[in-house]
Amino acid sequence: MWLLYLVAFIPIIIGGILWIARKEIVILEWVIGSVIALITAAIFHVCIIQGMTGDDETWSGYTYKTIYYPKWVEKYHETHRVTDSKGKVIRTYTDTHYRTHGPEWEAYHNFGTNERTIDISQQRYEEIKKDFGNKVEIDKPGKSGFYSGDPNVYTVNNKTNKMLPVTRWMSFENRVKAAPSVFSYQKVTDKTPVFDYPKNTDYDHSDRLLGDAKRIVNLYQWDCMNTRLGPTKKVNVILVGFKPNSDSFLANLQEAKWVGGKKNDLVICYSPDNSGKPLWTRVFGWTEEELVKRNLETLLLKNINAIDLIPQIEQEIIKNYKIKDWKKFDYITLEPPIWAYIVLLVVIMVTQGGYYVFVSINDFNKEGRKSRWRC
């Protein structure tokens, strides 16, 4: 990264030479130009680091309440002042306006140490209300300027204890992604028969079950397991089922494509034989305990039925999983791509060139008097 600042020193040196050689450039102008060059390099530094290491992981949570804000009308007044040409107030007047609010429906999600409120549709509100027992609590918030409509808001808390799992994306710094060669992750082409990373575009239903896994496991139960494990074990469990009789090396390619997975991922891969029994299994993820991986591999090979699978996976993770301390990857050095240096050099040349043209023709020089334009 220090090369970025070396690029910035090129115009600093050139600017110093111009300051010495030309009376039109004063020392303050050279200092300002130098600062601009260093700030430009620093901005590039931050942007490149963010672009190389910026990543997102999946957090698991649950919906714990919804609120319905019915339609209502607010009445408010606005005072206006009329002034003359000198700015003196000659008269004031007030007029009345009306503003309509709602209807709106919101869902509240809990992610352990983090919460989120999102807008939902009326249909989704009614579905959650039914799951929570249809008991509505009425609140009178005292709406300022209330004129007409419904003065109340309606809250639905979870009275049935039914779990409604949700997901969200959370950002983190991923130095492994920026330097995959450090861990010998090979480049995986688009034609390789492995899966893209789960997008989880629907926060109510994750994409954690891939391929054959959708056949043997219920998605709702799998998401509930992640919701129970997520806040305490800091884990996101993904199950990947390849086509029957697939080569076990596909699991290695899957790991390479995902560059080891996100920070909190624990990925269980397998391929069934013709009878549906797992032919092989492999687990990867960033954990301090390798034992949990081997135990999960053995667990899946036992060909237990799907009803027993989730509780046993959950118990194994509770007992032996420990998320890796991501700070241990701080040693990884990051080297920007060549194009980043080229872009910085072009930006520096354009901005500094324009700046020194300006300070050469502006009104200040070393003699402290205004210089005149010369053709």
pLDDT of residue 48: 80
Q: What are the distances in angstroms from CA 72 to CA 69, 84, 105?
A: 9, 39, 14
pLDDT of residue 375: 38
194 plus 320 within the same structural domain: yes
Structural contact between residues 244 and 272, judged by C-beta atoms closer than 8 angstroms:
yes
79 plus 146 within the same structural domain: yes
Dist. CA 35–CA 355, nearest whole Å: 12
pLDDT of residue 1: 62
Dist. CA 347–CA 39, nearest whole Å: 12
189 plus 265 within the same structural domain: yes
pTM of the model: 0.80
Structural contact between residues 33 and 355, judged by C-beta atoms closer than 8 angstroms:
yes
190 plus 313 within the same structural domain: yes
* 171: in domain: no
* 366: in domain: no
pLDDT of residue 59: 96
pLDDT of residue 364: 67
194 plus 225 within the same structural domain: yes
Q: E strands, the chain, where?
A: 54-69, 72-83, 89-101, 104-110, 115-119, 137-139, 146-149, 153-157, 165-173, 209-211, 236-241, 265-272, 278-285
47 plus 73 within the same structural domain: no
Using a 10 angstrom Cβ sphere, with 0-12 exposed, 13-18 middle and 19 or more buried, the burial of residue 313 is buried
Dist. CA 35–CA 29, nearest whole Å: 10
* 250: in domain: yes
Structural contact between residues 175 and 328, judged by C-beta atoms closer than 8 angstroms:
no
Q: What is the CATH number of the domain that holds 256?
A: 3.10.310
Question: What sign does the dihedral 269-274-275-280 (CA atoms) show?
Answer: negative
* 263: in domain: yes
* 247: in domain: yes
197 plus 315 within the same structural domain: yes
139 plus 47 within the same structural domain: no
Dist. CA 251–CA 242, nearest whole Å: 9
Residue among 203, 182, 198 nearest 262 (CA): 198
236 plus 248 within the same structural domain: yes
* 203: in domain: yes
Structural contact between residues 298 and 278, judged by C-beta atoms closer than 8 angstroms:
no
* 343: in domain: yes
**Where in the sequence is the domain holding 251, given as residue range(s)?**
180-329
* 227: in domain: yes
204 plus 287 within the same structural domain: yes
Average pLDDT for runs of 10 along the chain of length 375: 75 81 78 86 82 90 96 92 84 91 95 94 96 92 89 95 96 86 82 94 95 93 96 96 95 95 96 91 94 95 80 96 90 80 86 83 65 45
Domain count within the chain: 3
316 plus 341 within the same structural domain: no
198 plus 297 within the same structural domain: yes
